[in-house]
Amino acid sequence: MATTDSTVPIIRIFDTTLRDGEQSPGASLNRAEKIEIARALEQLNVDVIEAGFPITSPDDFEAVQAIADAVTEPTVCGLARCMSKDIERAGQAVKNARRGRVHVFCATSEIHRTFKLKRAQDEIVKMSVDGVQQALQYVKDVEFSPEDASRTEPDYLAEVVQAVIAAGAKTVNIPDTVGYATPGHFGPLIKYLFEHVPNINDAVISVHCHNDLGLAVANSLAAVENGARQVECTINGIGERAGNAALEEVVMALRTRHDIFKAATKIRTERLFPTSRLVSTLTGIHVQRNKAIVGQNAFAHEAGIHQDGILKERTTYEIMKPADVGISKSELVLGKHSGRHALRERLTELGFTLTDEQMTAAFERFKVLADKKKEIFDEDLEAIVEGMIKDAADVWELVKLQTTAGTGVIPTATIELRDYKGDVHVDAATGDGPIDAAYSAIQRLVGVADAELKDYQIRAVTGGRDAQGEVTVTVQINGKTFKGRAFSTDIIEASARAYLNAINRSLFRCELDAGNKPEHV
């Protein structure tokens, strides 16, 4: 754990993986996946989890509620515009949290005032103050963000910050919404606020930086040097467009360069790598190999001269210990003789906190896979658990798949599906190839007429001929786009499961959009 020397300030870590991170193109998480990530964030010891934007959909609302029930230590926060309906939804969503927070925001920059909100400066101040006051009717802990703060006139920004603090905001977050700031601009902006807002010490000053110029972490750190005491960030830096400041980078920079920042966090750094793996598995957003702290190459030394140095003295080429961020050099290879205990240990190291019931299901799947594959790698285990978490909300389950294909044969697929009531349905179809045939049979069985495959990708998650294939599909169903993903050692099966996964997501969404709690959940 990072140093918690009582003489240094503690920087609060506000994680927005489940809100801004989930806004990343291509990331979409179901409720069970969000809860799994929230539990991992609690293990990581983040101070605040921004769990969603409740007004955006009934699904988001219920996910925030479910996270408020699932975690006890971190504050659970819901986002709202300065609009009455938004604030009411956010307030209701975090009502049951042990520590609930409503985060209201209103754009303040001239560009946003003129083109988006079409409001004058004094109207924006009033909307912001009213928003904070309304949020205080639901929770004691209210955060306010002047959106696009880094492009707002500093004197006007100071006026807004002063007004919302006077209205009762306990945290004021300064976002670099479009990733426009640089450290030499953003640090002094925070300093300016400390010098020009008389009541600034009545609130915690926070920052929220986007990475459009690759400066999100540097800007966040410059803000800390100038008095910010909360940093908003996401695991693996996922988020809108180029993403947000990466939590693991902010935390490890503060820790490794304690000599400069003289500040600490409460993060259990050895949980960083497992949490990163979990988020990349569940969102499907892979971490680049050379990503700082959690990338596959972050602690790999290729050059002979470096390897030689490391063997003589680790610190010649390493500024952090792999174990400090949770990268273990575990040689434990799981296979068909491994027991439940070894599996649980490894899953915990990979960031999963499974209930006993989930563990039993994971162990069953592990045994099935171990019969097909000699060695089970971490990626295989992630695939198993991911499949399980997804299935939790499935309407349709693949029971059997049989295909015939080859030269001079008409590709045919016979599919058996079970619906959520337990009834089994069978159909067969032909197609351009076995996958196309399987997709036609599935489409007929589930009765979704308007489904168009927009994208299909396949990759091997591990090496070797018995590797599991990961198939990711994008399917347009009734005009909306859904992603589906599945793993199997059989790529036709993985393809069918991925397609079904996208259909299940669309059916889940349909029920929610119709205002129903899905019957099958």
For ligand KIV, how many residues bind (rule: CB under 6 A)? 9
Site for ligand KIV in 141-160 (CB under 6 A): 145, 147
CB of 501 to Zn ion, least distance (A): 28
Q: Compare residues 222 and 503 and give the one whose CB is closer to Zn ion.
A: 222
Among 48, 55, 91, 105, binds ligand KIV (CB under 6 A): 105
3-class SS letters over 66-113: HHHHHCCCCEEEEEEECCHHHHHHHHHHCCCCCCEEEEEEEECCHHHH
CB of 107 to Zn ion, least distance (A): 12
Q: Compare residues 147 and 470 and give the one whose CB is closer to Zn ion.
A: 147
Which of the listed partners (Zn ion, ligand KIV, none) does 504 bind, with a CB threshold of 5 to 8 Å by partner kind?
A: none
Q: Using CA atoms, how far apart are residues 195 and 197, in angstroms rounded to an integer?
A: 6
Residue 37 burial class via C-beta count within 10 angstroms: exposed 0-12, middle 13-18, buried 19 and up: buried
Does residue 177 belong to the site contacting ligand KIV (CB under 6 A)? yes
Residue nearest to Zn ion (CB): 20
Given the rule CB under 6 A, which of 56-64, 157-165, 169-177, 456-464 is the region that contacts ligand KIV? 169-177
CB of 226 to ligand KIV, least distance (A): 19
For Zn ion, how many residues bind (rule: CB under 5 A)? 1
Strand order through the sheet with 480-488: 451-460, 469-477, 480-488
Which of the listed partners (Zn ion, ligand KIV, none) does 147 bind, with a CB threshold of 5 to 8 Å by partner kind?
A: ligand KIV
The Cα angle at residue 31 between residues 27 and 36, in degrees rounded to 5: 85
Does an H or E element contain 367, and which? helix 356-372
Among 208, 271, 497, 509, binds ligand KIV (CB under 6 A): 208
Q: Compare residues 208 and 346 and give the one whose CB is closer to Zn ion.
A: 208
Q: Which amino acid is at 198?
A: P
Give, in order, the Cα–Cα distances in Å from 439 to each of 18, 430, 480. Answer: 32, 9, 18
Given the rule CB under 5 A, which of 17-25, 48-56, 120-128, 391-399 is the region that contacts Zn ion? 17-25
Q: Compare residues 208 and 483 and give the one whose CB is closer to ligand KIV.
A: 208
Q: Using CA atoms, how far apart are residues 168 and 159, in angstroms rounded to an integer?
A: 15
CB of 488 to ligand KIV, least distance (A): 37
Site for ligand KIV in 13-42 (CB under 6 A): 20
Query: What is the number of other CB atoms lying within 10 angstroms of the CB of residue 177?
Result: 24
Contact 456, 434 (CB under 8 A): no
Site for Zn ion in 18-57 (CB under 5 A): 20
Q: Using CA atoms, how far apart are residues 107 and 401, in angstroms rounded to an integer?
A: 52
Does an H or E element contain 398, and which? strand 396-404
Q: Compare residues 232 and 394 and give the one whose CB is closer to ligand KIV.
A: 232
Q: Where are the alpha helices (DSSP H) in 172-246?
A: 183-196, 216-225
Binding stretches for ligand KIV (CB under 6 A): 20, 105, 145, 147, 173, 175, 177, 208, 210
